[in-house]
Homo-oligomer: A and B are copies of this chain.
Amino acid sequence: MSQEFLQLIPVDEVLRLFHRFRPIERIETLPLLEAVGRVTADAVVAGESLPAFPRALMDGFAVRAADVASARETSPVFLRVAGEVAMGQVTQASLQPGECIAVATGAMVPPGADAVAMVEHTRPGPDGTVEFTRAAAAHDHLLLPGEDVAQGTQVFAAGRRVCPLDVGALSALGISRLRVRARPVVAIVSTGDELVEPSARPAPGQVRDTNGGTLHAQVQACGGIPLLLGRVPDTLDALRAAVAAARGKVDLLLLSGGSSMGTRDHTAQVLSEQAGNALLVHGIAIAPGKPTLLADLGGVPAFGLPGHPVSSFVVFHVVVSALLRRLAGELRPPLPKLRRTRLRANVVAAVGRETYVPVRLEEDGRSLRAVPTLGNSAVHSSLLQCDGLVRIPLHQEGWAQGDEVDVEVLR
């Protein structure tokens, strides 16, 4: 047992091992709106300037700022209205000194004008004039060509996930298609003689395969394409066949289950026996989830995941998802959704392991408290009732009731 513990690899080290796996090379060109949520394959450079013409930012009058520099409520300035710029139209003529031209928000500001005076600071004047009651400075309420985005600027880096914030700028620049990496295909194989289909009624001693479905949902939430390949019995031959079927056809293989020692040994053997395969990790210093395997099957990564539901969920969330994002070409993982709250009870770390404790968030007056959900890593209701995870760093004994901790919110 002590020997097994000595082999446990800290999470940080496991994450560094991922560098041997390359992002997948398949590229797709998608319409911009379908590319939301996907990872860019290349940097994107602005092929034009934004705005393409001087645009009014307010309803009002295009002016020469010098003409209204002295305007005050008590000493207004009167300018002749030389016309109006219709939305979407080009202005006919250049603005002359002593003139103003009506513009609506978004309209082109005519040549000669260097500011827009807000309509709220004007009044209709006599004889086709407008009365200006406040001074305007050059550049007021006016966006100059290229001021938003200059042509030639890199507007989007490679390896970045497109999100709703990005759609406006990219479509304003006429970038209606994006080259993105294909979504990684992830095969999920559930192992265990005791497993039956989730839709079946288990005989006594049998249980439904639940981790297959959870991993399916987790892969999808991370941007991968999950392939549920079904259940295989706990035999070397069945495992070999499953690994052979997946090898070369998928980007990542997850062997789920096999929480008993015998199964773990089978999985470790099958993942390492073939030429070109390397068993990289045989136990991670994480709790729950210690009995996790990671292998390199000739360039395709494969995990042997623990069978307990909480263990499998936590290992996917903390470890597998990071590899999946790397395979997807994502260079910077998203920030976790953290909530700083106080703990309602002590939580204790597993000795020598980075520990994750499922907690429920309960309202306590105007703040939230984190309450550990009961049960061990075999208990489904622990995940069902939790809102997130509290992490106890490696070599820390735990957190005490009342401590402020960061809950990673998962709902």
Q: Check if B214 sits within 8 Å of A198, measured CB to CB.
A: no
Contact A90 B205 (CB under 8 A): yes
- List the interface of chain A (C-beta within 8 A of B): 1, 32-33, 36, 50-53, 55, 57, 59, 85-91, 104-108, 119-120, 143, 147-149, 155-156, 161, 163-172, 174, 176, 192-195, 198-199, 201-211, 213-214, 216-218, 220-221, 234, 259-263, 307-309, 313, 334-335, 337-340, 361, 375-376, 378-381, 383-384, 386-387, 409-411
Known contacts A171-B213, A198-B174; is A192 also within 8 Å of B87 by CB?
yes
Sample of 6 more A-B contacts, CB < 8 Å, known A168-B211, A169-B383, A337-B337: A165-B313, A168-B213, A171-B210, A171-B213, A335-B337, A335-B409
For A1, the chain B residues whose CB sits under 8 A away are 120
**Measured CA separation A409–B386 after assembly (Å):** 22
B198 touches A171 (CB 8 A): yes
Residue pair B104, A260 in contact (C-beta under 8 Å): yes
A168 and B210: CB pair below 8 A?
A: yes
Q: Are B313 and A208 in contact (CB under 8 A)?
A: no
CB neighbours of A165 from chain B (8 A): 313, 383-384, 386, 410-411
Q: How far is B411's CA from A51's CA once the two chains are assembled, in angstroms? A: 25
Which residues does chain B contribute within 8 Å of A205, judged by CB atoms? Answer: 53, 85, 87-91, 107-108
Contacts of A378 in B (CB 8 A): 55, 57, 143, 148
Residues of chain B within 8 A (CB-CB) of A380 are 50, 148-149, 168-169, 172
Integer count of this chain's copies in the complex: 2
Contact in complex: B260, A207 (CB < 8 Å): no
The answer on a CB contact under 8 Å between A87 and B411 is no
Q: Which residue of B lies closest to A380 (CB)?
A: B169
> What residues on B are CB-neighbors of A206 within 8 Å?
88
Q: Are B259 and A106 in contact (CB under 8 A)?
A: yes
Contacts of A193 in B (CB 8 A): 86-88
With contacts A259-B106, A411-B334 taken as known, whether A202 is within 8 angstroms of B52 at the C-beta atoms is: yes
Cβ–Cβ contact A155 & B259, under 8 A: no
Complex: how many Å from CA A147 to CA B193? 23
Residue of A86, A166, A193, A378 with most chain B CB atoms under a 10 A cut-off? A378
CA distance A294 to B210 in the complex (A): 45
Contact between chains at B33 and A163 (CB < 8 Å): no
Query: How many Å lie between the Cα of A322 and that of B293 in the bound state?
Result: 43
- Give the one of A106, A147, A156 with max B CB within 10 A: A106
- With both beta carbons as reference points, the residue of chain B lying nearest to A35 in the complex is identified as B217
Give every chain B residue within 8 A of A210 (Cβ-Cβ). 167-169, 171-172
CB distance from A100 to the nearest CB of B (A): 17
Shortest distance between the CB of A304 and any CB in chain B (Å): 14
Which residues of B sit under 8 angstroms from A201, Cβ to Cβ? 174
Residues of B with C-beta under 8 A to A192? 87-88, 106
A409 proximity list for chain B (CB < 8 A): 334-335, 337
A410 contacts across to B, CB distance below 8 A: 163-165
Contact B119 A261 (CB under 8 A): yes
A164 touches B218 (CB 8 A): yes
- Cα–Cα, bound, A163→B218 (Å): 9
A168 touches B214 (CB 8 A): yes
In Å, the complex CA distance between A335 and B368 comes to 11
Contacts of A55 in B (CB 8 A): 207, 378
Partner of A167, one of B32, B143, B214, B339: B214
Select the residue from A53, A104, A167, A383 with max chain B CB neighbours within 10 A: A167
CB-defined contacts of A218 to chain B, threshold 8 Å: 164
User: A391 vs B77: C-alpha distance in the bound complex, in angstroms?
Assistant: 39
Q: List 15 A-B contacts (CB under 8 A).
A: A1-B120, A36-B220, A55-B378, A59-B261, A88-B193, A105-B261, A143-B378, A163-B410, A164-B214, A168-B380, A171-B208, A172-B309, A174-B199, A174-B208, A340-B340
Which residue on B lies nearest to A334, using beta carbons? Answer: B411
